[in-house]
Chain A
Amino acid sequence: GQNIDQPTEMTATEGAIVQINCTYQTSGFNGLFWYQQHAGEAPTFLSYNVLDGLEEKGRFSSFLSRSKGYSYLLLKELQMKDSASYLCAVRDRNNYGQNFVFGPGTRLSVLP
């Protein structure tokens, strides 16, 4: 079966650091993705991990442990505009393209 878990909601203060965890159990694995989605808008790509370890991209970092089925997204120096939902998604193997299994999303509220 396919199962991805994330916390439903998180709250943090402007300027702080927040870590959003994601655990997954999927039948196939061809990469783990994080997307940001502001209310009423489409998801936008944040990060991608296919090998174990940490990927850093400005204020955002993402970590993957394939053996543990675990990833996290780390957001540093939080800004008010970071208030959004953060979607963890696993890409299935597919010869013609790709299918994503998305988690429920974590709604992050950044407070002043």
Chain B
Amino acid sequence: AAGVIQSPRHLIKEKRETATLKCYPIPRHDTVYWYQQGPGQDPQFLISFYEKMQSDKGSIPDRFSAQQFSDYHSELNMSSLELGDSALYFCASSLEGGTIEAFFGQGTRLTVV
């Protein structure tokens, strides 16, 4: 079965640079969530989108922005990167019009040096 696809899988950036992470949800899923997971920590909710509109907002820094496009894929844009932004970034998708189970992708490992 098709899963959530995230790209890139690994990304190395320098401080103050920008990064863009991409997420392709499971086919027919219309809802996307972004989470940040630091080493040894639990995933922290950043932001979610339903039908291309922002639905819920968590602990997303002002330096980060995200959007969902007409084909339901989503991008997380991160600017003025800091060392503390180094983490695993997960995207999850669900079908809001049906059940609400959220399925996670394999993540993007961002390293800021």
Partners in one complex: no
